[in-house]
A = this chain, B = another copy of it.
């Protein structure tokens, strides 16, 4: 892997990536159920690379905060694994790709209430419920975690967007009540969904997200110290690779070859194990819900740098 790691200087590559992939005209879509996301200009594009040695390279709109949405699921999973009884979260959620849409109820019914993985919505609701047992305000705890790893007070919850999204959360409420019916939710469904939506509404920049994800590239060692054991960090990477890009995980592994997690805010967090964490952001989405320009840019970057786990 990554034999070409140290060869190319990153700055000109990132600048060229931005030149090549920043959208020149409107394309792709925005999620209809989250009104605030539709307001973001289509031509936003940023990228940041935080290396294991502590450097950060950036280009484009890497310092503009955006809604992290489902990228939050990587970090809530890490927090759940930090808790002592880590075994219990794995008794409530599987680690398999889903083969269906991220918010499907079908698989949940077939699997009798055990979500396929922690990155589909049902699985993330279970992880949130799990965190809330110890920390009722799990969203604020996540915010503290992210600020610590990002190295500053930048991350914040867009409460207006959260309130707005919450009023459009029928699908997530359905999932939560369905989980409760299968006795796989312990807190009240409404509370879990509210907490989950607030997590998704956290605003961060590419730089902050790349720094916050660095522990996954450094065998568990984050910017603030040890976050997880080496094994647990690697395992989050494996789940990102097999389940991190909604129903396009296989395609992303095929084209980019790196563990990644996307959010419908247009961000994608990618890990180059042993070397760096990358965050790219561009708000318009492809048919599977992943950043259109962001996915293209990462495939390009992988080709140019040789970064791939395969």
- Please name all residues of chain B whose beta carbon is closer than 8 Å to the beta carbon of A235 when the two chains form the complex: 254, 257, 310
Number of copies: 4
Does A43 belong to the interface (CB within 8 Å)? no
> Please, which residues of chain B bring their CB within 8 A of the CB of A241?
241-242, 253, 310
Q: Among the listed stretches A103-111, A150-158, A278-286, which one makes contact with chain B, having 4 or more residues with CB under 8 Å of it?
A: A103-111
Contact of A259 among B95, B243, B247, B310 (CB under 8 A): B310
Q: Which of B2, B181, B234 contacts A310 (CB under 8 A)?
A: B234
- Shortest CB distance A194–B (Å): 14
User: What are some 7 contacts across the A-B interface (CB < 8 A)?
Assistant: A97-B242, A97-B250, A99-B100, A105-B174, A106-B109, A171-B181, A173-B173
Interface size class of A (residues with CB under 8 A): 35 or more
CB distance from A232 to the nearest CB of B (A): 10
Cα-based distance from A178 to B250 in the complex (angstroms): 24
* Ranked 6 nearest A-B pairs via Cβ: A99-B99, A97-B97, A237-B310, A170-B181, A309-B309, A96-B250
> Of residues A105, A239, A241, A250, which shows the largest number of chain B Cβ atoms within 10 Å of its Cβ?
A250
Residue A301 lies at the interface, judged by CB distance under 8 Å to chain B:
no
Using CB atoms, name the residue of chain B closest to A236.
B310
Expressed in whole angstroms, the minimum distance between the Cβ of A282 and any Cβ of chain B is 23
